[in-house]
Amino acid sequence: IHYSTDYVFDGTKDTPYTEEDRPDPLNAYGRSKLAGEQAIREIGGAHLILRTSWVYSARGKNFLLAIRRLLQENKELRVVSDQIGAPTSAGALAQGTAELLSRDSVAALGGARGVYHMTAGGSTSWHGFATEIARLERSDAPARIVPIASSEYPTPARRPGNSRLSNEKLLRRFGVALPEWEACLEAFYEMRREGGGRPHD
């Protein structure tokens, strides 16, 4: 199993990207992930390349943890609203991968190989994601979350405007589909509450 990213595409397509679309990364990260995909193919043998997007968890550096911290420190947040993708929890991604590997169809294909997209269902903007995080934080004094354009928030590396990936091939071939992104986020917070306030994934 090799995990890749939506960043292998340039984000100019109007609809979700399929596995048949030609990669055209905008930045060094996307180019490095595409090079990883190519290296896996060249090695040969059984392999599954899973492209995912906007991954978050209770550890490391990711958008969800950054927004949680900023919500505690600010009364107003300005968040990009013109980049669209599917926030995907690391927990849901792990569960989906385990389900994929348990499929008889995978076991039967000793030489299984290929690229598949695996993200949470649905899509939203970074602003929409931040707004849902704020709602689930249940703050007594919620911060105001202001939508802005990407041009108002310059970053060192260019980012795709459309990060939506079609999961249809994965569903058709193996019958595997992750929950909607809102359900994944709800599950993340439910596990956090059950853990006595400690975030889990």
**147 located within any domain:** yes
pLDDT surpasses 90 at 158: no
Kindly state whether residue 121 falls inside one of the protein's structural domains.
yes
116 lies in some domain: yes
The CATH number of whichever domain residue 152 belongs to comes to: 3.40.50.720
Rounded to two decimals, what is the model's pTM? 0.89
Predicted pLDDT at 101: 87
**201 in any annotated domain:** no
The catalytic residues are: 29
Decide if pLDDT at 188 tops 80: yes
Question: What percent of the chain is predicted at pLDDT more than 90?
Answer: 71
pLDDT in tens, 41-98: 998 778 899 999 999 999 999 999 999 999 989 899 999 999 999 999 999 999 999 9
| Helices marked H in 58-89 | 63-73
Burial of 181 (C-beta count, 10 Å sphere; 0-12/13-18/19+): buried
If DSSP codes are grouped into helix, strand and coil, which group holds residue 80?
Answer: strand
Q: How many domains in the chain?
A: 1
Residue 199, in any domain of the structure: no
Residue 169 placed within a domain: yes
The burial of 76, by beta-carbon neighbours within 10 Å (0-12 exposed, 13-18 middle, 19 or more buried), is given as exposed
Q: Is residue 22 part of a domain?
A: yes
Q: Looking at the predicted structure, is the pLDDT value of residue 196 above 60?
A: no
- How high is the mean pLDDT of the chain? 90
Question: Which domain range does residue 28 map to?
Answer: 2-194
Structural domain includes residue 200: no
Secondary structure letter of residue 121 according to DSSP: B
